[in-house]
Each structure stands twice: as structure tokens, then as C-alpha cells.
Amino acid sequence: MFTNVLRSSTRIASVARPAIQLQPRTLAAPSTARLYHERVMDHYSNPRNVGSLNKNDMDVGTGVVGAPACGDVMKLQIMVDDKGLISDVKFKTFGCGSAIASSSFMTERVRGLTLDEAGAIKNTDIARELSLPPVKLHCSMLAEDAIRSAIRNYKSKAQERGGSFTGSIDVAQSVSTGETTADPKPGVV
């Protein structure tokens, strides 16, 4: 009985006293950690490649997409080098944490890739990597739309100025053996 009273009184004391010390550690983290996976949190709190490239540059492709259901807007820009590889990527996303994380992750993912490789990335890859909950799947879809839109924009620019972006494949068939060889030449801008 006595120990019970003692225990309960010390419990009260220990709850009441350290409130000030505990608050910063316990309150800040779990409220967000419960909603988002830590990888999302990482990309959200330290987003990579935030910023803008000059959208008027010929070697820059810009994609601006939006999610009408939540009113997010995402801008993703790629810079393509003379080998046809994505040499720089920037993004700006105005929306929720998952949308920011998805686009940040996408920028890291596509750097150094060819346009075809980048365009083949599926939103499910991003969702899996970031462990997005089903309700946030549309954020990864937005990132997929954004990179495709940026690629389209770049390609249309290249075509507009009559660039040799389309590239070519030299196909040759040997008269003697009938063997076909293909020599792909990626477009050089």
C-alpha cells in the first residue's frame, strides 16, 4: 500500500518534471515519422537538386505537371549533354512531403541516364524505393509525368531547330554471310 503510494507519487513527479527536457526529443520526431517513411523524410528534409535551369537554353528540357486532386505543382528540368546523357537535373515542387521526396528522388535517379532510360522509369519504382503508402502513390506518378514531360520538351526543342537529335542506326547486311550488323549512332545535338 505504502509502496504503491510512493510509486504513484514518484511517477507523477517524473512525468511532471522533465516535460521541458523531453519535449524537443519526443514531440518533434514521431509526429512526422508516423506519417512518412524515413527515406521520404530524408529526401523531404534534405531535398537534392532543388533549383532551376534556364528554361530557354536549347539543351534544357522543362516539365511542369500538377496533381488536380491536391493542388500540387512540380517542375523538373533536365540538361542534356552532347552524348545525349542527362548531365544536370533540377526540380521545384510545391506540394506535400511525398511529392517533394518523389521529385527529389527522381532527380538523383535520372542523372547520367539516356533519355530513353530516364523515360522508362516507372512510378512504382519510386513508390517502392520511398515506401510510399497507397494514398500517396499519385505523388510518384507526378514525378514520372514530370520527367516524361521534360524529355518531351527537350526533344521538341531539338526538333524545332532541326537538330540531329533523332540519331541514326547504320544497318549493313553482309553479301556473303547474310549477317546483319547494326551500328547505332545516338543523336548529337
Question: What amino acid positions are annotated as catalytic residues?
Answer: 70, 139
34 binds other proteins (CB under 8 A): no
Q: How far is CA 8 from CA 15, 17, 18, 45, in A?
A: 11, 14, 16, 41
Nearest of 129, 147, 125, 127 to residue 137 by alpha carbon: 127
Stretch that binds other proteins, among 104-112, 124-132, 133-141, 161-169 (CB under 8 A): 133-141
Minimum CB distance to other proteins smaller for 39 or for 186: 39
Cell of 60: 534544357
175 binds other proteins (CB under 8 A): no
Stretch that binds other proteins, among 82-90, 138-146, 165-173, 176-184 (CB under 8 A): 138-146
Cell of 174: 553482309
Write each residue from 67 to 86 as x if it is in contact with other proteins (CB under 8 A), else as -, in one continuous string: xxxxxxx-x-----------
58 binds other proteins (CB under 8 A): no
Nearest of 145, 150, 85, 96 to residue 121 by alpha carbon: 145
100 binds other proteins (CB under 8 A): yes
The DSSP line for 23-84 is: HHHHHHHHHHHTTS-HHHHHHHHS-SSBS---TTSTTEEEEEEEETTTTEEEEEEEEE-TTS
Amino acid (1-letter code) at residue 147: I
Find the shortest distance in angstroms from Cβ 8 to other proteins: 33
Stretch that binds other proteins, among 82-90, 113-121, 137-145, 159-167 (CB under 8 A): 137-145
Residue ranges in contact with other proteins by CB under 8 A: 44, 64-73, 75, 92, 94-97, 100, 137-138, 141, 145
